Structure 1
């Protein structure tokens, strides 16, 4: 196409079928918002229902029992994404901001406070001004899944503690109190592993399900419900295990949490070839974030902080251990020390309040 023709193209007049194809391929909430903000024609061509982030309707785990007399209760799963909004390169002293977005069943985007778990009464909040995402540099950090409160009560004892999903395969993996459960769309929950993931974790890594118990025994769960042993720790380690994906690698955070002693944390990296967890001496310039049903990592360069090699507890998921200052703490791996996040403004300010430059961009 000649340059003169490309310059003269009026993007607001693209045919609707082409816009529909573009819209169908967007899977990022920020890109969806940007698409709709181009012009009224693009906005009217977008169909919210096609991108409803309530991705699957599933029965509560009590329906694993083959009793036809049990009344079936259902929940919906909503996708939640965590983003880092980075300042323009010329604003060297400006700080970035961590934010979370989910979409309620009516198709509207909703901001979630990054310092509270999704079921906290302080979760929802409103910004004083509109944010123009077309002018911002946005880094996607992690996607996790939460239960839609409009369809199920968080007080329902049958709810799984954590749910993850591989959307392309329409698969859902959930953790109840004593079992790992698997479900494919239009099927019932089924037990797939005969061990407890209490104090363990589940995750999606490279579009595959992984599960770990409190002793570090790690399995990969296949779509047909069969499992494969992936790795084991040389010793049992601590009493709480959590997965974190970091720069294409799967990490295991091993927490020694005993009321009578100090918190101790070790971090391991999965070696798939040798089928073992390799202990890391330090995280260098990485920062790990641990929260309720969601963990992720980021570099000090992206975060604009001076020091990495630490673990940040971002919500109230760990309140049961030694009164962790409202759950918002920093654990320094090189010192083996836990501190309130409020003692470190460069970390605390990543979450709240939103920096002024975002509204002026």
Structure 2
């Protein structure tokens, strides 16, 4: 039998460079001491520093915070039905520490149940990273210690460009304008070309994409250049949301008329158009306050894909304690999450199979 601990160091380094998530890194490092020494604990360095505010305010500071959306699942079993997974968002908010948030909002989760295990054996769970969100938490400084009041939370798109802490942030500022921060320059620069206010932005395949009110979609380069990739062809009064799903860039068009409905489009960059998608197949889209992500219905342990999840901010579509609403693409019907088997268990509270045994479904 081969002794995996004796693999050449060069080969271990090549393998480690292809690890896709932080949990892949943790599992790789847990094999043995030689594997652990071949790769750093983190995939890429994450900046936990302070950033100048826009406009500059001598009494305030922005902190960059990272949140990761995880799907935890019981191990698959050949003779049992796989229970629904559990979605949670883990926030790494400097200097406030780590906590858990509602996966679709910026609200903190309720306290964990008393019987929740203090340690989860992640080697005996299915763990999938579904997405990340990055926010700047604007604060006001009181002038002593680390005494800050949080005054706002701003969504940003984030790119780490190499392994030397070179990163770029992309955010909105005022009147629909966008700005870019480069860590090497340590300052914000305004993107001048946006004829109408933006609706959403996303970091996709190493580039910054943004869509404005009319559906005009552009890529903003690191030199602040703007490249048109889709012509405007939408009603500017309706909300648009960008989502990455299995390597494709999707746009969800949220149309609120007498009969509210969602439409989904896929980007054709060569033709510079958004083509409508009638069926998402097994995919499920999640539209959160600060980020969007997608997942497979099979991975979620749910029986139905082709759905969109979002939070009903006004509470006028469905009466639900969490205000989480599901839009069924096939029927065109909105409904509370409780109406969809297997989906209500995805959120809160944690499922029984975690609280009792994390090694068995």
Q: Which bracket does the TM-score occupy, shorter chain normalised?
A: 0.7 to 0.9
CA contact (8 A) 2:89 2:101 kept: yes
> What stretches of structure 1 of length at least 5 have no aligned partner?
64-69
Residue 331 (1) aligns with residue 324 (2): no
| 1:165, distance to aligned residue in structure 2 (A) | 0.6
Residue 322 (1) aligns with residue 316 (2): yes
Query: In the alignment, what sits opposite 1:58?
Result: 51
Residue 194 (1) aligns with residue 183 (2): no
CA contact (8 A) 1:100 1:114 kept: yes
- How many residues are matched? 337
CA offsets 1:31-88 (integer angstroms, 9 cap, x no match)? 455467678999999988997644453211213xxxxxx5263222122221222332
Equivalent position SS for 1:155: strand
Query: In the alignment, what sits opposite 1:67?
Result: none
CA contact (8 A) 2:252 2:263 kept: yes
| 1:300, distance to aligned residue in structure 2 (A) | 1.8
> What stretches of structure 2 of length at least 5 have no aligned partner?
140-145
CA offsets 1:282-339 (integer angstroms, 9 cap, x no match)? 22222111111111111222222222221111x4xx5147365443111122222211
Query: In the alignment, what sits opposite 1:348?
Result: 344
Query: In the alignment, what sits opposite 1:71?
Result: 58
Question: Aligned partners of 1:279, 1:24: CA distance in 2, in Å?
Answer: 36
CA offsets 1:221-252 (integer angstroms, 9 cap, x no match)? 00001111110243436510100001100000
Equivalent position SS for 2:129: strand
CA contact (8 A) 2:12 2:38 kept: yes
The alpha-carbon distance between structure 1 residues 111 and 121, as it changes in their structure 2 partners (threshold 3 A), is: closer
Query: In the alignment, what sits opposite 1:92?
Result: 81
Indicate the larger mover: 168-177 or 125-134: 125-134
Equivalent position SS for 2:287: strand
CA offsets 1:154-196 (integer angstroms, 9 cap, x no match)? 424xx53x11110125110012342111111133222203345
CA contact (8 A) 2:104 2:287 kept: no
Question: Aligned partners of 1:210, 1:288: CA distance in 2, in Å?
Answer: 18
| RMSD (Å) for aligned C-alpha atoms | 3.8
Query: In the alignment, what sits opposite 1:66?
Result: none
CA contact (8 A) 2:99 2:108 kept: no
Question: Aligned partners of 2:246, 2:259: CA distance in 1, in Å?
Answer: 30
Residue 213 (1) aligns with residue 206 (2): no
Q: Report 1:1-361 matches (<5 A).
A: 3=1, 6=3, 9=5, 28-31=21-24, 33-34=26-27, 53-63=46-56, 70-71=57-58, 73-86=60-73, 87-90=75-78, 91-105=80-94, 110-115=98-103, 117-118=105-106, 120-122=107-109, 125=112, 128-129=116-117, 130-147=119-136, 153-156=149-152, 160=154, 162-168=155-161, 169-178=166-175, 179-185=177-183, 186-192=185-191, 193-197=193-197, 200-236=199-235, 239-258=238-257, 261-313=258-310, 315=311, 318-320=312-314, 322=316, 325=320, 326-358=322-354, 359-361=357-359
CA contact (8 A) 2:88 2:347 kept: yes
Normalised by the length of structure 1, the TM-score is: 0.78
Normalised by the length of structure 2, the TM-score is: 0.78
